[in-house]
Amino acid sequence: MTTVLQQAADARGAAIDLAAATRAEKDRALLLMAERLVERAEDIVAANAVDVNNARDIRQPSVGSGVAAGRSDGQSEAMIDRLTLTPSRIEGMADGLRQLAALPDPVGDVVRGSTLANGLELRQVRVPFGVVGIIYEGRPNVTADAAGICLKSGNAAVLRGSGSAFSSNAAIVSVLRKAIADAGLPADAIQLLDATTRDSVKELMRARGLVDVLIPRGGASLIKTVVEESTVPVIETGVGNCHVYVDQAADLEKALAVTINSKTQRLSTCNTAESLLVHIDIADSFLPLAIEELVSAGVTVHGDPRVARYSDDVVPAVHEDWGKEYLSADIAVAIVDSMDDALDHIRRYGTGHTEAIVSESVTATRRFAARVDAAAVMINASTRFTDGGEFGFGAEIGISTQKLHARGPMGLPELTSTKYIVSGNGHTR
Amino acid sequence: MTTVLQQAADARGAAIDLAAATRAEKDRALLLMAERLVERAEDIVAANAVDVNNARDIRQPSVGSGVAAGRSDGQSEAMIDRLTLTPSRIEGMADGLRQLAALPDPVGDVVRGSTLANGLELRQVRVPFGVVGIIYEGRPNVTADAAGICLKSGNAAVLRGSGSAFSSNAAIVSVLRKAIADAGLPADAIQLLDATTRDSVKELMRARGLVDVLIPRGGASLIKTVVEESTVPVIETGVGNCHVYVDQAADLEKALAVTINSKTQRLSTCNTAESLLVHIDIADSFLPLAIEELVSAGVTVHGDPRVARYSDDVVPAVHEDWGKEYLSADIAVAIVDSMDDALDHIRRYGTGHTEAIVSESVTATRRFAARVDAAAVMINASTRFTDGGEFGFGAEIGISTQKLHARGPMGLPELTSTKYIVSGNGHTR
């Protein structure tokens, strides 16, 4: 048995006890995990320094080679910033765990129940999945978040973080495992896989029977690989080519506010708008204002030929722009002749994440909401609201863009399955 | 584009209109489908005769070649019986569609709703998946059932039945498509794939983006193939190695009733018990009775050495017996030294379908229900109760043995996803 499969099997063993743990036991563990992270902050920062120094070493060669290097320099500075842990960031991780302890436990919720005609008592009860695999990139604070969310929902977690954060993640997981054991729950409920090789991802994807569900969190290419190659059931998350559709019956002020906020409030998130579709009948009044405000916010407007007529600042859109998740200060803008054209466009290029309409017409918003096939439809509201925190879920493991099991922001209940418990008195058919 | 992908694309187009159809429109279509099946019963029976004759031709060569042939003869007579359509069986299919019309529509159900602190109105609403692919074996009446369940839940159906029923299925689908169109809904909502080649299964499994979910209904090998090769999300159904555990605190009469009913009420269903686990402390009083009653019901008892001591009728169990879904008059019987041993046994050999405990002890039943990882746990009741009809769901597309999305009998709500609809008034973050 390989190391990965052994770790998955260990997690599976721990999951049996964890599934039977009470809310009180789990909350005690979460609070102890939080306390220990803060106590051991110095060690974690030291482990993190290894990762940060490695990242700086890798970056070094490209420095000083002109404009391109300058840009990559800025990018890697941002990357290093995301990678860096400070005592206050560790305090933030601990806070996240404390908030989880305060949330209700989804396990044991009775989803459906009845007494059948023959007297059998039927209950459909929420139960943990068992073992949840999470593949993620980037920031080490995700490690504590993911471990905490899995534990609270009664699941063992098999974590595969990025190689660049491996030393930090190892330090964090070591502290968390010790805390879990000291709280009387099985330390094996959290497993950190070797992130120095691609093999651990491959093996995790084939660990059907040991791992119940796999959640990839990261860029489109990671998610595509996992979806295509995994035999473990996958929940797809996070790729968002979100559109704002400004209907002919839109209020101009709301349309402007929703457009600007959806695009610029934060550039790099999956619920950021990447495309703007404007009904032809409102283009003359809306587009000059929108383009001006977008450009003055530093956004490059990639427009179709009809959009380009409104401003010299518009860059001609190429075909690839329509399907692109920019995650940058760019937006693709098109004029559509009808709402149905907008719906067709969204159907072709959307990723099923979030689609917004701005309109004062009840008929239009009703039709748009019914016909758009996406996790979330925003009516006169920014696409940026599709978020577990904004929706009031308290914790979020990701935003599902698939239709099976969970769609949209995934909170604790989305990390559970159900079980039918049927009680009789010697009942037979 | 291949024929399969074209049919999937046509289904996708139809799914857009179907998702927006009202319950009244869908029920009208279902009732017309029922009416037309009965009207066209003669044509359907004629098409069915082609399949039945083909099946008889294939069977012919093996007739008259001794014992083996005699057995295969009986098997194929049963197969031909399942394949055969009569006017009364067609009436039964029509009845199924009429019952679907009477069931509530899951689409539009508000699963969760609230007004957020900032005034945004959040609703999580049930929506159809879109396109549901179903791969099934055997009986042609499944065609009408599956088409009806998909239509009622607002989904387009891409059906891949067995080659042996292709002529019957084609006749049924032709009638149903015409009825749907006459009822004002898109005929393309039902697609029947060519069943004369394996390629259609392969292409269906790779039609990610066109087909939203794939449900294989059939034997273990079909399900394994689909699970391993499909890039379309799959809902696993129906393989059941169900256990009855007779606890030391069992009431003997209930234990006997539950055991016999679970095994013999119907042999070939996935919720039939295939294994019996008996606590050592009750073995002396229970096993002689159980073995006698099983044997006199024509069941072959495959027992471990400790079981064999109770009766000469016991056939020694080999290792394969513990993991076998017999679907026949056989049962594997073992003595366990504790409930934990029973739980370990079930964990190792169970398929996560249905597990039963017979016990008068609240502590024992509570522990068993909490620790068994299965779609359904029966407490003092027959495993045969795990069934959409018995649970009162009115319609069933299969019994899911996976934890993602749906677990246990799948009714109409299990054929839906959800969508968040968020209403604001120009809200921004």
pLDDT (tens digit per residue) in A183-198? 999 999 999 999 988 8
Helices (H), B127-251: 141-152, 166-182, 199-205, 220-229
Give the model's confidence band at B332: pLDDT under 50 very low, under 70 low, under 90 confident, else very high. very high
* Residue of A253, A360, A373 for testing the chain B interface, max B β-carbons within 10 Å: A373
The predicted pLDDT at position A221 comes to 85
Average pLDDT of B294-302? Answer: 98
Give the model's confidence band at A161: pLDDT under 50 very low, under 70 low, under 90 confident, else very high. very high
- The CATH number given to whatever domain includes residue B348 is 3.40.309.10
Mean pLDDT of chain A: 93
A390-403 pLDDT, tens digit per residue, is 999 988 899 999 99
**Total structural domains in chain A?**
2
Q: What angle do CA A299, A305, A308 make, to 5 degrees?
A: 40
CB B109 within 8 A of CB B57: no
Q: In sequence order, what E strands does A161-209 have?
A: 190-192
Which structure tokens are listed for B147? 């088409």
C-alpha–C-alpha distance, residues A172 and B190, integer Å: 53
Same domain, A266 and A123: no
* Residue of B114, B118, B419 for testing the chain A interface, max A β-carbons within 10 Å: B419
Same domain, A136 and A250: no
The predicted pLDDT at position A224 comes to 85
Same domain, A67 and A137: yes
Residues on chain B touching A410 (C-beta within 8 angstroms):
none
C-alpha–C-alpha distance, residues B296 and B299, integer Å: 7
Same domain, B197 and B50: yes
CB A158 within 8 A of CB A131: yes
Measuring CA to CA, which residue among B96, B93, B100 is closest to residue B23? B100
Question: Does residue A185 lie in a domain region?
Answer: yes
A112-146 pLDDT, tens digit per residue, is 999 999 999 999 999 999 999 999 987 899 999 99
Radius of gyration from C-alpha coordinates of chain B: 24
CB B143 within 8 A of CB B161: yes
Same domain, B227 and B287: no
Question: Does residue B40 lie in a domain region?
Answer: yes
Question: Does residue A398 lie in a domain region?
Answer: no
| Phi, psi for residue A265 in degrees, rounded to 5 | -65, -35
- Distance between the two ends of chain B, CA-based, in angstroms? 44
The residue type of A261 is N
Give the model's confidence band at B68: pLDDT under 50 very low, under 70 low, under 90 confident, else very high. very low
Question: Does residue A66 lie in a domain region?
Answer: yes
Same domain, A54 and A186: yes
Same domain, B224 and B246: no
Supply the range of the domain harboring residue B327.
242-390
CB B375 within 8 A of CB B405: no
Comparing A64-68, A177-181, B228-232, B262-266, the range with the smallest average pLDDT is A64-68
Question: Does residue A429 lie in a domain region?
Answer: no
A343-390 pLDDT, tens digit per residue, is 999 999 999 999 999 999 999 999 999 999 999 999 999 999 999 999
User: Is there a contact between A403 and B428 if contact means CB atoms under 8 Å apart?
Assistant: no
- CA separation, residue B296 to residues B136, B264, B313, B314 (Å): 35, 11, 10, 12
Mean pLDDT of chain B: 93
* Location of structure tokens 């539950």: B258
Give the model's confidence band at A65: pLDDT under 50 very low, under 70 low, under 90 confident, else very high. very low
* Location of structure tokens 């008889």: B56
Question: Does residue B399 lie in a domain region?
Answer: no
Same domain, B366 and B413: no
Query: Does residue B60 carry a pLDDT above 90?
Result: no
A291-342 pLDDT, tens digit per residue, is 999 999 999 999 999 999 999 999 999 999 999 999 999 999 999 999 999 9
**Chain center to CA of B127:** 22
Question: Does residue A428 lie in a domain region?
Answer: no
C-alpha–C-alpha distance, residues A374 and A403, integer Å: 9
The predicted pLDDT at position A63 comes to 42
- Which residue of chain A has the CA closest to B405? A405
Distance from CA of B59 to the nearest CA of A (A): 35
C-alpha–C-alpha distance, residues A241 and B421, integer Å: 18
User: Is there a contact between B422 and A377 if contact means CB atoms under 8 Å apart?
Assistant: yes
User: Is there a contact between A16 and B380 if contact means CB atoms under 8 Å apart?
Assistant: no
B201-224 pLDDT, tens digit per residue, is 999 999 988 999 999 988 888 888
The predicted pLDDT at position A59 comes to 66
Measuring CA to CA, which residue among A365, A399, A367 is closest to residue A379? A365
Measuring CA to CA, which residue among B303, B222, B299 is closest to residue B261? B299
Query: Does residue B73 carry a pLDDT above 70?
Result: no
User: Is there a contact between B373 and A130 if contact means CB atoms under 8 Å apart?
Assistant: yes
Same domain, A170 and A136: yes
Nearest CB partner across the interface for B424, out of A124, A234, A381: A381
Distance from CA of B120 to the nearest CA of A (A): 8
Residues on chain B touching A418 (C-beta within 8 angstroms):
407-408
Measuring CA to CA, which residue among A184, A235, A211 is closest to residue A128? A211
Average pLDDT of B241-268? Answer: 97
A254-299 pLDDT, tens digit per residue, is 999 999 999 999 998 999 999 999 999 999 999 999 999 999 999 9
Same domain, B157 and B224: yes
- The CATH number given to whatever domain includes residue B17 is 3.40.605.10
Collapsed DSSP state (helix, strand, coil) of residue A366: helix
* Residue of A122, A387, A404 for testing the chain B interface, max B β-carbons within 10 Å: A404
- Which residue of chain A has the CA closest to B20? A370
The predicted pLDDT at position B162 comes to 92
Residues on chain B touching A402 (C-beta within 8 angstroms):
233
- pLDDT above 70 covers a percentage of chain B that reads 96
Question: Does residue A178 lie in a domain region?
Answer: yes
User: Is there a contact between B124 and A408 if contact means CB atoms under 8 Å apart?
Assistant: yes
Comparing A229-233, B352-356, B361-365, the range with the smallest average pLDDT is A229-233
Same domain, A44 and A91: yes
Same domain, A100 and A186: yes
User: Is there a contact between B380 and A425 if contact means CB atoms under 8 Å apart?
Assistant: yes
Collapsed DSSP state (helix, strand, coil) of residue A150: helix
Counted across chains A and B, CB pairs separated by less than 8 A come out at 211
